[in-house]
Amino acid sequence: APGSMSGSGPEAAQPGQAAEAGLQEAEQDWAAAKAFYDNLVSKRPRPPKPQHAITVAVSSRALFDLVEERRIYEEQGVEKYVEYQQENENVTLKPGPAFHFVKALEHVNARLLELYPDDEERFDIVLMTNNHAQVGVRLINSINHYGLTIERFCMTGGKSPIGYLTAYLTNLYLSADSEKVQEAIEAGIASATMFTANKDVAYSDTQLRVAFDGDAVLFSDESEQIVKEQGLDRFFEHEQLNENKPLAQGPLKGFLEDLGKLQKKFYAKNERLNCPIRTFLVTARSAASSGARVLKTLRSWGLEIDEALFLAGAPKGPILVKIRPHIFFDDQMFHIEGAQKLGTIAAHVPYGIAQKYHKPA
């Protein structure tokens, strides 16, 4: 009808044309930047384009231990906090909960560059922080001290970084701020709140190890809703009836997919037995009663998981001690707390019905 918003006239085509023009301009910008860098001699690999990279954005409080600095900020205000950081900019920050994970990502990158020197499909780690730029020197000094390759910084001076996460085409956002993580999840970005382990453990230097919970992490919370609202027996019945119907995807499915893509690059070079990435499913489901649907869902997505552990309600902490993942993603805080106590670095995914029952502190 005349005047309606849907139509097939010239106006209807404009948004699509504008988006296409924007993409062409972005491609031209990248081509110009590449040409500039290609003329510079450097041993450092050039950061990949966001369209090709697996971008992992990490906050400064996830990467480093900033507990004391945070206390100064909360008790004395932002000016004293900035002053303290500037006075201590030559004092190296201690590792935070995401530190070993980032180191493992960089090891994978090094292996990828050996096998595929010209390929841009690798991890790009971005420091995404609402810190003020004046704090940047201490962060840079600490990153250089540990030999980390973090070239992209986004320091938003107290503003929310969520818009920048979208602009960077972020595949995973890790922060110590649960409100920012919730905001990112609501914006459709895979995100988790990092928690430091209560014990020091040794992590693999040669293999990135990532453990995922199933429901409300890799998969939707459809099944958890039935458990919470109708009980366990109804849940088992529902899962067996729907065994051949794939579960809907959850917030971290895309990141497992990214890891799988990189694993296949190693397999293609006959490196399956020496692959620097290993993935784990650690779920409270029981295998016999509700495991088939999970495995068939992964198969329908074309995804492999290296190890699947069905715990039938047993605590996850002791199993995670054996796995020693660099990061463990779960949607339920009691699993996060149990993992923490036994030395696992855990990341809370604030998604699904479980958040109504247990809000993170």
Q: What is the pLDDT of residues 103-118, one digit of tens each?
A: 999 999 999 999 999 8
In the chain, DSSP assigns E strands to 54-58, 123-129, 152-155, 172-175, 191-195, 208-212, 277-283, 307-310, 327-330, 346-348
The per-residue pLDDT of the chain, averaged, comes to: 87
Note the pLDDT of residue 38.
Answer: 61
* Rounded CA separation 330/346 (Å): 8
- Give residue 325's pLDDT band: very low, low, confident or very high (50, 70, 90): very high
* Catalytic-residue membership of 213: yes
Joined tokens for residue 138: 């201490």
Q: Which of 57, 355, 19 is CA-nearest to residue 184?
A: 57
Note the pLDDT of residue 117.
Answer: 92
Q: Are 169 and 128 in contact (CB under 8 A)?
A: no
Mutual angle of helices 222-230 and 232-241, in 10-degree steps: 140
Q: What is the pLDDT of residues 351-361, one digit of tens each?
A: 877 676 554 44
Q: Is the pLDDT score of 1 beyond 50?
A: no
Which carries the bigger pLDDT value, residue 20 or residue 10? 20
* Rounded CA separation 195/125 (Å): 19
- Give residue 40's pLDDT band: very low, low, confident or very high (50, 70, 90): low
φ, ψ for residue 180, nearest 5 deg: -65, -40
- Give residue 43's pLDDT band: very low, low, confident or very high (50, 70, 90): low
* Rounded CA separation 307/325 (Å): 12
pTM: 0.85
Sheet holding 123-129, edge to edge: 152-155, 123-129, 54-58, 172-175, 191-195, 346-348, 327-330, 208-212, 277-283, 307-310
Among 38, 65, 119, 213, the active-site one is 213
Q: Is the pLDDT score of 28 beyond 80?
A: no
Q: Is the pLDDT score of 260 beyond 80?
A: yes
DSSP state of 91: S
* Rounded CA separation 321/243 (Å): 31
Joined tokens for residue 325: 């993942």
Q: Quick one: CA dihedral 138, 140, 141, 143, positive or negative?
A: positive
* Rounded CA separation 229/244 (Å): 23
Joined tokens for residue 132: 């003020």
Q: Is the pLDDT score of 300 beyond 60?
A: yes
Domains of the chain: 50-194 (3.40.50), 208-355 (3.40.50.1000)
Note the pLDDT of residue 356.
Answer: 65
Q: Is the pLDDT score of 5 beyond 60?
A: no
* Rounded CA separation 187/329 (Å): 19
* Rounded CA separation 36/46 (Å): 11
The gap from C-alpha 180 to its chain's centroid, in whole angstroms, comes to 14
* Rounded CA separation 58/336 (Å): 19
* Rounded CA separation 31/248 (Å): 38
